Chains A and B, each alone.
Chain A
Amino acid sequence: MAHELTVMMLTWEFPPRIIGGISPHVYNLSKSLAKNDVKVYVVTCDFPGAPQHEVVEGVEVFRIDSYKNPSPDFATWVYLMNINMQKEAAALVNSLDGKVDIFHAHDWLVANSGIGLKHVFRKPLLATIHSTEIGRRNGIHFDYERMIHETEAWLTYEAWKVICCSNYMVSHVKWAFGLPEDKMIMIPNGVNIQEYEKNQNVDLSLFRRRFALPEEKIVLFVGRLVYEKGIHVLINAVPKVLEKVNAKFVVVGNGYMKEPLSNLVKSIGLAHKVIFTGFVDDETLRNLQKCADVSVVPSLFEPFGIVAIEAMAATTPVVVSDTGGLSEIVEHDVTGVKVYPNNPNSLAWGIAKVLLDENYANRLKNNAYKKAQEKYNWDKISQQTKTVYEAVLNEYSKSFWA
């Protein structure tokens, strides 16, 4: 290749805009690709205070006007936002003399832009499917959901290859959209272990006291407070855990279930045992993950389960529901505890087991830390991704588009 491999990432979220897991994923992947000699342009939605253009650790980030009029509904907003994203991305590629080798789209939220750019510039499109509508909703029940489902199918149809972050998601996406196996590639999600190794010697006992009494164990939940994340399962497990061990439940994140669940906690007289912190900044989150005595991921549907890996990097023992990507991340009794999904008794058993047996907890967290270092390492993941880019470009070079 005459010039360095150039990729344009399309994503609806990129730090400081953080809504779910796509934002940190694209951020870490792009940074690591840049370190491995890939030129990366990120085109993403704007965010108050964030510049329209900046270079973040070698990654060119462009933020577009993300359509701010009131929209009839979320999906329509997504399509409207894509008008602007596609327009700005097209102008950017044009200004680079068309020197972009690959468009890489993350989820249906940028399907229109990715597909349009592919055809207009006749360059290959790659798609990473982080999650699916049929998985999030546990089936397709309304036209609105079916429209999103079909948009996802359209993206996977147009993509040269489809990347998923777990073997579970590979088989799920293959089933959901009827894709051939050889179109699918599994590359795991990663964790930034260095972020957890910073300030190792800082005493967190004062920080810890903001959340729990010294004699209370901390049980941490991190995630959107929505049905599929199983936060209601954890809340139902709270009294069962408290029968065996004195603990404080710290719930980080926002979502439509926050209000009903915090009312429920009050009504059963356990408001002093459960804290809803809302959204917290990165440093607070990492410190909480380090302080916690156990991290819980009780999801009902989980394509990957990044918070489990984060807990492993923070050397906190994990209790996860045996579903989706979590089943692959955790080996029961070796790197964590697996419990039955949607089962508060099973979850309470797992939490109590870890909290009551210190030797067991130590063994789990040490094994888990090693696994996070070896397998979920961004440098390694970005090299795997680069290999996919090179293979796609090699195939493309023999096509009539080249």
Chain B
Amino acid sequence: MAETLFHKVWNRHAVRTLSSGQTQLFVGLHLVHEVTSPQAFDMLRQLGWRVAYPNRTFATVDHIVPTLARRRPFLDLMAEEMTTALERNCQEFGIQLWAPESREQGIVHIIGPELGLTQPGMTIACGDSHTSTHGAFGAIAFGIGTSQVRDVLASQCLALDPLKVRRIDVNGRLSEGVYAKDVILTIIRQLGVHGGVGYAYEYGGGAIDRMTVEERMTICNMSIEGGARAGYVNPDETTFAFLRGRPFAPSGESFERAVTWWRSMASDRNAPYDDRVAIDAGSIEPTVTWGINPGQSVGISERIPADGDEEALAFMGFAANAHVRGTRIDVAFIGSCTNGRLSDLEEAARVARGHHVAPHVKALVVPGSQGISRAAEARGLHQVFIDAGFEWRGAGCSMCLAMNTDRLEGREICASSSNRNFKGRQGSPTGRTLLMSPAMVAAAAIAGEVVDVRTMLEGVPA
């Protein structure tokens, strides 16, 4: 019988049906960071339990880690305490940790793929809702809470209900200046921020097929913003080529055997779906949010809807029927697990090269990992940004959620390549966030206001 990848992966990892009716699901890869794990380790200690599969859990620090002044001990005492707690926990329970000093440290959803830990056909869990990112490889990846982190540590399992699967075809071609970020913002706008509740999203169609794995990660990353706990793309040659040679990917003959298995886990051609949606890639414009959830967005040439949510408009200081284009910004943030990868920095640098950030704008580039940082520096991208007046920072989550000192002040308005424009998200209760692609953020930083990046890309070499 034809099946989706979701069902194949689910069935391969189902241990049994619990008496509650939930499925006990084996977790193939567990990723841990400093913010949602300390209480889980404490619970284990209190119960006197061990970690069941310590070699299937990997840890790093990303959420609270400073992006400036990274010498230990950190000046931020709480960052130091949380980092030290993770170091102690990983040592005690035998878990591999990439500490701030390590060359591999970075945002957990960026280093998993970078190191080849993330592979097709896996179940993956992490105490972070953007775990859906790993679905870009054809894995089923769930964000979980801290009690579930404890469960995975103790048993390598979760108690879950299966999801329905919605196939989302993005057909046709994206035009110049339109990116994966614009695609996922458009999908969320069309299906709603809770349209995906109860579903895993399977992304496909010509535009997704042509995307790099990095672009697919941007799409899958924001599945949760549409209410879908998991999102994935079927593995293909692009996926396999990305994985070849990565430190934790299989090598030699086992790589070839792996490809055979990975291919077999993809959705069958005539697999049944619970729902199907099609989107025309050619109709998507550079997209920006105007409100306080990621579904409240418009194409850059469009106006805010006449019936736009009043609470959102009041908070943001926008009027219905107005354009977001032309909005003066105070801060520009390029980074996050959504858009902090090398290709994101390349596209932003393409826009920034030879220009300068507007005098009133504070602009930050925060690479998603130290690996990306090194790769960008090898290409001279850091110098492009520095010459243009951007700050070039160390790797971490930074101003996406403002757990460290990178944050908005007062009612500042930020053009951001991150994933959430919730009230208070970027550290100031009254701070405002406009989500957009990294290239659009770079364009806004230079212009000092929200602009259509396509006007700045004319004649610029790829």
Do the two chains bind?
no
A: residues with CB less than 8 A from B are none
B: residues with CB less than 8 A from A are none
